[in-house]
Structure 1
Amino acid sequence: MDRRTYLKTGTGAVVGTLLAGCTGGGSGGGEGETTEGAGEETTGAETTAGEETTTGESESLPETVVIGSDIPYRPFEYETTSGELTGFDVDIAKAIFEGELGIGYEFKPTSFDSIIPSLNNNNFRIIMSAMTINEERAKKVDFSDPYFTAYQTVIVRKDSDITSKEDLKGKNVGVQKGTTGASAAEGLKEEFGGDLTLKKFDQIPGAFQALMNGQVDAVVNDNTVNAEFVNGKGEGKVRFLEGEGEAAEQGKDAPPYLTLTVEEYGIAFRKDDDEFRKKVNEALAAIRESGKYDEIYSQYFQG
């Protein structure tokens, strides 16, 4: 999948201090696994300025919704060189909250591997962070209707002798902590009888840099984020690992490279926020119906 050369400048506000790390419900450390990067973020029961702190069926819309998100995670949420927040999730948030619901929105940078506890500690109202809907997370949060389909994929250096999934056996693989990419790599490790070493990074740029430096042999991550790197900073230096995979097995419109999983992204809400979730789902349906969703999608992705 090629990325578009045009990336729209976002208008979302960013609150809080940019923190290291990325989200999810990944697995812990173990034999044959190392961790790279800064320590995990700790969270507290903090209320966020500019939004109502109580939720429930009778609640009106807040003036501003604060959104927890891991930044950077191109092309979903990241800062431009001038410091503006942009990305697919940012533009979808603008369309939903400003365009359909008539309220403001702010993004709060948050470590991905602690983002669900942060949500449930009232540090922000929702999560929009390319978050895959899965059973483990659904025990802790409620999700919106799906708004994006993604695949876990593998990239390697262009001069690598790795040409198939089986060639990864015995190799070092970079992943982002707490993500479904890390979970997919754990599945590979199990498939290989433990003969795979995982190196976990707080944020995905660290894994990409390790690949370029030869510290890992491959990176497992979402297809669109991998494509952003393959066609950007890694152009001519890295490539996708090819082969049929889970998407083809499920009869999906599979991308032209190996897919380890097929996943759906959703917006995460606290368990007691049903009325707000309903309104967001209605707004999401409205931007699909109007063509606004497709307009935003075409600015970041092809196909």
Structure 2
Amino acid sequence: MDRRAYLKTGAGVVAGGLFAGCTGGNGGGQEATETATSEAAATDGEGTTEGTETGTESGSEGDVVPDNVVIGSDIPYRPFEYNTASGELTGFDVDIARAIFEEQLGTSYEFKPTSFDSIIPSLKNNNFRIIMSAMTINDQRAQEVDFSDPYFTAYQTVIVRQDSDIQSREDLRGATVGVQKGTTGADAAQQLQEEFDGELELNQYDQVNGAFQALVNGQVVAVINDNTVNAEFVNNQGEGQVRFLQGEGAAAESGENAPDYLTLTVENYGIAFRQDDDEFRQRVNEALAAIREDGTYDEIYAEYFEG
């Protein structure tokens, strides 16, 4: 199955649901944004002092929209945020950020690479203004941050090597699976571990690429992660190397137009804000609504998920 089929099946089914579906991540695209991202990469969210933000939010005190929006994000997370061979930050979220902040709100923005498992504490520590990083809206996180309107529906899915004996959900019992730390993929794996009475070993990695490499190297038999990111990896590996684990699951149970592969969860993504940032969150929600209405969102979506 080609890239288009995987991504359209996994993400495109929500085109008539939330906003046609897509997840948040990193991005910039402007020269100034890329420069700021490169500088921020050296600190990975840990080099700033408490109560400060990387980048200059130089609007006067009380301004709803700052002059420069610093965005915390876990990079790489292809196809949402990743660097090209030439070092350019690109991806779906790069373009969504440009549409929201530059085109709709008339302000600049930059992305600050940050480990996902520490990204909420970093936001609360004022290391950046918002999080755009394929972040699932859930009750646990909503106790610490406020979310924008949801702008993508995704599923937690399982990929295995093509030559694997794993053919069903039950076949994972007793296996070792790879996940990224601090993600809902890790949560889904832990739930599966409980379902199997502990008969599932989890190898957790700082970035999803570590889990993918472990799968290729035979260190884990499966990776549990977002469907669109898994799909990108499956297709980049070439035909016949890696596959989705098939079967019905959460999407079918919830009445979604389910893909033909196993879905462990159905999730909505949002942009995360500190809990005292209501006016700015409202402006971002308005901008999200505007890019949906004028067709910009659909154009960006088509570039990454239908082509």
Please indicate, yes or no, whether the TM-score normalized by the shorter chain is above 0.5. Answer: yes
Pairwise mapping of residues 96-111 of structure 1 onto structure 2 (< 5 A)? 96-111=100-115
Distance 1:279 1:99 in 2: 13
Instruction: Give the partner amino acid of 2:72.
Output: G
Question: Residue 300 of structure 1 is aligned with which of 288, 298, 304?
Answer: 304
Structure 2 contact 72–131 (Cα < 8 Å) conserved: yes
User: CA shift at 1:44, angstroms?
Assistant: 4.3
Residue 114 of structure 2 corresponds to residue 140 of structure 1: no
Distance 1:50 1:217 in 2: 45
Alignment length (residue pairs) = 280
Q: Who is 2:12 aligned against? A: none
Instruction: Give the partner amino acid of 1:147.
Output: Y
Residue 56 of structure 2 corresponds to residue 50 of structure 1: yes
Distance 2:40 2:65 in 1: 26
Per the alignment, do residues 185 and 53 of structure 1 end up closer, same or farther by CA in structure 2, a change over 3 Å counting?
A: farther
Cα deviations by residue, 1:171-222 (Å, 9 ceiling, x for unpaired): 0000000000000000000000000000000000110010001000000000
Structure 1 contact 230–238 (Cα < 8 Å) conserved: yes
Distance 2:288 2:56 in 1: 23
Residue 206 of structure 2 corresponds to residue 202 of structure 1: yes
Q: Which consecutive unaligned segments of at least 5 residues does structure 1 have?
A: 22-39
Pairwise mapping of residues 1-303 of structure 1 onto structure 2 (< 5 A)? 2-4=2-4, 11-12=29-30, 13-14=33-34, 15=37, 16-18=39-41, 44-45=49-50, 46-52=52-58, 58-233=62-237, 235-302=239-306
**Identity across matched positions, percent:** 71
Distance 1:171 1:20 in 2: 36
Structure 2 contact 59–65 (Cα < 8 Å) conserved: no
Distance 2:43 2:75 in 1: 8
Q: Which stretches of structure 1, 4 residues or longer, exceed 6 Å deviation after superposition?
A: none
The answer to which of 42-51 and 150-159 deviates more is 42-51
Distance 1:52 1:90 in 2: 22
Distance 2:70 2:84 in 1: 20
Give the secondary structure class of the aligned counterpart of 1:130: coil
Instruction: Give the partner amino acid of 2:56.
Output: G
User: CA shift at 1:255, angstroms?
Assistant: 1.6
Give the secondary structure class of the aligned counterpart of 1:51: coil
The answer to which of 168-177 and 225-234 deviates more is 225-234
Give the structure with the higher percent helix. Answer: 2
Distance 1:20 1:237 in 2: 36
Structure 2 contact 178–220 (Cα < 8 Å) conserved: yes
Q: Which consecutive unaligned segments of at least 5 residues does structure 2 have?
A: 6-26
User: CA shift at 1:52, angstroms?
Assistant: 4.5
